[in-house]
């Protein structure tokens, strides 16, 4: 029943009103990672990811989720729907982290009084950036010298407040390669977390807003440095296919959306020059390799950096267990997958593990810290490129 075929059979019965949306059905739809690895190898080309997300939408419409899941989605997906609320939440979390409260809470173990899981989950919180990305740059940035083209850039929600340095590295790499960058101030969350978890109405509202904002600017490509966000924005056309006012506009934006590794691998890259004498491996984010079918491009970029020793990660395309909010909602299942990933990472003896998705980044950092592997750094591909461009 927990295999892709088993779940498809369950979904078919529910879609045809032959089976109730039972507690077991809900559990199966959320036990699934939605990693879409099955989609990669399916000889019939079944779009399993769309099916499971449709099933989660039905669950949401019928309000059949467990109370804890419904509450979590209502609160946190509601926060990410609003840039103002996202920043408010981020500033509160920043104060919690920088006041010493988080460290004191961890060392005291007080959260264990409620549950061991709650104590562990605190370590999965993202470290909030000292300054938010969208407040650090003007709306339009021109490179020094000849302009090769013009690109737009997604600031997003979590990346904007917790991975601002990765965004800054991405901008520096794009400027180094001669691209003018547009960062629309009015853009919002891409809606991926909402769409992947059945909240289609919210996802569509966010998509429409982004379409209206981005289409005000002329650009060659919309660059995204988060695998999950890029995958979802490439599906805006499907998401809004029945919306007369937005269907064509959504498809046009989807067609311009590029993961940053995909984009950089497709141009004549300014050669990186500074050696990075490290042993490096690469973990493939599910929504990059399985949904966007991008696998060789990040490796191609990494191998252009002088000095690196690149070693393949066993089972690189296997999910690390992060899967959006999966590691929060199904912590024990998530940790089993992370344990396997960490063992594979240990076998490479790498000093740096590269990944291109914020969820994977946090999950791997947590696993590395938990296992005392403090000699391993988790970085985004553009961060390594930026380092190699720096003198």
Q: How far apart are CA 250 and CA 207, in angstroms?
A: 8
Long-range contact set of residues 326-330: C-beta below 8 Å, sequence gap at least 24 = 326/33, 327/124, 327/359, 327/363, 328/72, 328/121, 328/124, 329/30, 329/69, 329/72, 330/30, 330/31
- This prediction's pTM: 0.94
Structure confidence by residue, pLDDT tens digits, 299-308: 999 999 999 9
Q: Going by C-beta distance under 8 Å and a sequence separation of 6 or more, which residues neighbour residue 13?
A: 19
Tell me what the pLDDT averaged over the chain comes to.
94
Burial zone of 70 (CB within 10 Å; 0-12 exposed, 13-18 middle, 19+ buried):
middle
Long-range contact set of residues 237-243: C-beta below 8 Å, sequence gap at least 24 = 238/50, 239/195, 239/200, 239/203, 239/204, 239/207, 240/204, 240/207, 240/208, 240/211, 243/204, 243/208
State the Cα angle at 272 between 266 and 278, rounded to 5°: 110
Confidence of residue 70 (pLDDT cuts 50, 70, 90): confident
pLDDT at residue 122 in the model: 84
DSSP state of 187: -
pLDDT at residue 340 in the model: 97
Average pLDDT estimate for 205-210: 98
DSSP state letters, 266-301: TS-PPPP-S----EEEEPPPHIIIIIS---HHHHHH
Greater confidence (329 vs 256) lies with: 256
Terminal Cα-to-Cα distance of the chain (whole angstroms): 55
Poorest-pLDDT segment among 107-111, 139-143, 353-357: 107-111
Q: How far apart are CA 80 and CA 155, in angstroms?
A: 13
pLDDT at residue 74 in the model: 87
Poorest-pLDDT segment among 100-109, 128-137, 281-290: 100-109
Average pLDDT estimate for 58-74: 88
Average pLDDT estimate for 32-41: 93
Q: How far apart are CA 288 and CA 315, in angstroms?
A: 15
Q: Quick one: how many helices (H) and strands (E) in the chain?
A: 23, 9
Structure confidence by residue, pLDDT tens digits, 138-195: 999 999 989 999 999 999 999 999 999 999 999 999 999 999 999 999 999 999 999 9
Looking at the predicted structure, is the pLDDT value of residue 324 above 90? Answer: no
pLDDT at residue 161 in the model: 97
pLDDT at residue 252 in the model: 97
Q: Going by C-beta distance under 8 Å and a sequence separation of 6 or more, which residues neighbour residue 331?
A: 117, 120, 121
Give the position of tokens 């003896």. 349
Average pLDDT estimate for 30-38: 93
pLDDT at residue 103 in the model: 86
Looking at the predicted structure, is the pLDDT value of residue 313 above 90? Answer: yes
pLDDT at residue 112 in the model: 82
pLDDT at residue 155 in the model: 97
Domain annotation for the chain: domains and CATH numbers: 4-64 (no CATH), 133-265 (1.20.1050), 279-389 (3.40.50)
Percent of the chain scored above 90 by pLDDT? 86
Confidence of residue 206 (pLDDT cuts 50, 70, 90): very high
pLDDT at residue 108 in the model: 86
Q: What share of the chain is helix, strand, coil (3-state, %, to 5)?
A: 55, 10, 35
Looking at the predicted structure, is the pLDDT value of residue 72 above 90? Answer: no
Pairing of strands 279-282, 257-259: unpaired
Greater confidence (375 vs 391) lies with: 375
Looking at the predicted structure, is the pLDDT value of residue 116 above 90? Answer: no
Average pLDDT estimate for 4-9: 94
Looking at the predicted structure, is the pLDDT value of residue 391 above 80? Answer: no
pLDDT at residue 308 in the model: 96
Average pLDDT estimate for 56-71: 89
DSSP state of 74: I
What's the chain's Rg over C-alpha atoms? 21
Burial zone of 216 (CB within 10 Å; 0-12 exposed, 13-18 middle, 19+ buried):
exposed
Backbone angles phi, psi at 309, to 5 degrees: -110, 110
For 294, the token pair is 């991008």
CA distances from 333 to 142, 330, 360, 391 (A): 46, 6, 15, 44
Helical residues (DSSP H) of 113-181, grouped into ranges: 116-121, 158-162, 164-176
Average pLDDT estimate for 194-220: 96
pLDDT at residue 390 in the model: 87
pLDDT at residue 236 in the model: 97
pLDDT at residue 370 in the model: 92
């Amino acid at each position: 029943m927990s295999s892709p075929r088993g779940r498809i059979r369950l979904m078919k019965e529910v879609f045809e009103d032959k089976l109730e949306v039972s507690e077991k059905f809900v559990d199966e739809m959320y036990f699934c990672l939605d990693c879409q690895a099955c989609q990669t190898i399916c000889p019939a080309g079944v779009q399993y990811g769309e099916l499971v997300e449709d099933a989660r939408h039905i669950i949401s419409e019928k309000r059949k989720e467990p109370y804890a899941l419904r509450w979590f989605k209502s609160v946190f997906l509601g926060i990410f729907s609003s840039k103002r609320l996202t920043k408010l939440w981020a500033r509160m979390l920043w104060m919690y982290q920088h006041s010493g409260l988080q460290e004191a809470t961890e060392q005291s173990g007080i959260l264990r009084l409620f549950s061991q899981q709650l104590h562990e989950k605190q370590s999965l919180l993202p470290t909030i950036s000292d300054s938010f990305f969208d407040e650090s740059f003007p709306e339009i940035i021109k490179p020094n010298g000849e302009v090769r083209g013009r690109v737009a850039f997604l600031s997003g929600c979590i990346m904007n407040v917790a991975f601002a340095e990765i965004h800054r590295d991405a901008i520096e790499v794009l400027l180094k390669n001669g691209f003018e960058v547009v960062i629309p101030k009015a853009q919002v969350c891409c809606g991926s977390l909402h769409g992947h978890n059945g909240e289609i109405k919210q996802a569509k509202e966010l998509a429409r807003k982004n379409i209206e904002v981005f289409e005000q600017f002329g650009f060659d490509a919309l660059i995204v440095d988060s695998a999950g966000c890029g995958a979802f924005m490439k599906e805006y056309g499907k998401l809004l296919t029945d919306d007369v006012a937005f269907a064509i506009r959504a498809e046009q934006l989807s067609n311009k959306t590029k993961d940053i590794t995909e984009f950089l691998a497709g141009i004549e890259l300014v050669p990186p020059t500074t050696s990075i004498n490290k042993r490096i491996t690469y973990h493939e984010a599910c929504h990059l390799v399985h949904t966007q079918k991008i696998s060789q491009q990040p490796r191609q970029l990494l191998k252009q950096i002088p000095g690196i020793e690149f070693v393949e990660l066993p089972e690189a395309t296997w999910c690390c267990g992060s899967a959006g909010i999966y590691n929060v909602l199904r912590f024990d299942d998530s940790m089993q997958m992370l344990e396997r990933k960490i063992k594979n990472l240990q076998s490479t003896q790498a000093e740096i593990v590269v990944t291109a998705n914020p969820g994977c980044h946090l999950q791997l950092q947590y696993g590395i810290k938990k296992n005392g592997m403090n000699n391993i750094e988790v970085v985004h591909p553009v961060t390594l490129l930026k380092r190699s461009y720096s003198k």
